[in-house]
Amino acid sequence: MTSFTDGPAAGRHLALRRAAKFLRVVQENQAWDALDQPDDKPKPTETIYAYKLSKQLGHCHINLGNGKGGFYPVVEYTFVPEQPSQDVMRDPDRWKRWCEHQLPT
């Protein structure tokens, strides 16, 4: 399970299949989700927030019945204080470049 320690998504928990170094978390009204898959795209009506992986605690298996469920990373994310623009977070290529620029060389 993915949890968020601070920022707008503080206290939220999501069942995400992937734990990227940087994660775009989206909010529309009171609903929260994350763009954890490489092909995920935000809806025009969603607000996007950038988070950084801070703790990898392991994995868990969730059985939802009827062959549904699977393994999920157990991780924590922290809010990125200097948020990239919404335009950067909406464009997959610009988002990828932003993420690469954040990594130490």
Tens of pLDDT, residue by residue, the chain (105 residues): 899 999 999 999 999 999 999 999 999 999 999 999 988 999 999 999 999 999 998 888 887 778 777 888 999 999 999 999 999 999 999 999 999 999 876
* pLDDT of the residue at 65: 79
Phi-psi region of 70 (alpha: psi -120 to 50; beta: other; left: phi over 0): left
Asked if 71 and 61 touch (Cβ cutoff 8 Å), the reply is yes
- pLDDT number for residue 66: 81
